[in-house]
A and B are shown apart, each in its own frame.
Chain A
């Protein structure tokens, strides 16, 4: 089946620290992988995506590389800001152009000044 496992939070960092949020997956076929971010009281926003093995998604200083050999899609940022405080969700689909997403449980990130 399809599933996503994320590292459990909460994660608390000081501003300018390095961030890694681990995500591993189980999937049949060739899924696309996504990171979504949810700010307090809001819906989810797509942060970045990768559609095939070895692709690197990047946006706003965040990066994640689709690693088929380790079935991972870890989120990284070199220097976090207070404004990055949010919940981050790793997700995958079934590899088609449409259809449901499978989400991890989410990781709460808090960045202190």
Chain B
């Protein structure tokens, strides 16, 4: 069972370009989370999605950022018109549907490191 797959691992963009980050959850997982890690900081929650639904987007910047998790295919985090302050590591996590005693165990991908020039 492959883990959470994120690509690309590294992404370089110039200011004003668009960045698309992809996340394929673990097999059987229907819940996806995106977090951002700025240098020297912990992870900050951005958005929580189920298939075709945004459950919690309270951590998403109001402009330029969007996320989706379509019925088929990976989850996409999209950043339009990137600025230098968007440079960070973006991590995706997935979790299975709740069963029995499972308690919100999230499995993380290796992350996409975005550099904005």
State the A residues within 8 Å of B (CB): 4, 6, 32, 36, 41-46, 49, 51, 89, 93, 96-106
Q: How far in angstroms is the closest Cβ of chain B from A61?
A: 21
Asked whether B56 lies within 8 Å of A49 as measured between CB atoms, the reply is no
Knowing A43-B91, A97-B102, A98-B98, the reply to whether A103 touches B42 (Cβ < 8 A) is: yes
Given contacts A49-B103, A51-B103, contact A98 B45 (CB under 8 A): no
| Chain B hits for A4, CB < 8 A | 42
What residues of B have a CB within 8 angstroms of the CB of A41 in the complex?
Answer: 110
Further contacts, 14 of them, CB under 8 A, given A99-B104, A101-B104: A4-B42, A41-B110, A43-B108, A43-B109, A44-B108, A46-B106, A96-B104, A98-B98, A100-B33, A100-B48, A100-B56, A100-B59, A105-B41, A105-B42
Query: Given A43-B91, A100-B56: A106 and B42 within 8 A (CB)?
Result: yes
The interface residues of chain A lying within 8 Å CB-to-CB of B98 are: 97-98
Does B115 touch A at the CB level, under 8 Å?
no
Closest residue of chain B to A87 (Cβ to Cβ) is B42
Indicate if the CB atoms of A97 and B43 lie closer than 8 Å.
Answer: no
Given A43-B91, A102-B45, A106-B42: A97 touches B104 (CB 8 Å cut-off)? yes
The proximity string for B residues 32-62 relative to A, scoring 1 for CB distances below 8 Å and 0 otherwise, is: 0101000011111100100000001001000
Instruction: Name the residue on A nearest B41 (C-beta).
Output: A105
Q: Assuming A43-B111, A99-B104, is B42 touching A104 (CB within 8 A)?
A: yes
Number of interface residues of B (CB under 8 A): 28
B45: chain A residues at CB < 8 Å are 100-102
Q: Of all chain B residues, which has the CB nearest A42?
A: B110
* A42 cross-chain contacts in B, Cβ below 8 A: 110-111
Q: Which residue of chain B has the shortest Cβ distance to A96 in the bound complex?
A: B104
B4 within 8 Å of A (CB atoms): yes
Q: When the two chains form the complex, which single residue of B6, B41, B44, B91 contacts A44, counting CB atoms closer than 8 Å?
A: B91
Contact call A98/B43, Cβ cutoff below 8 A = no
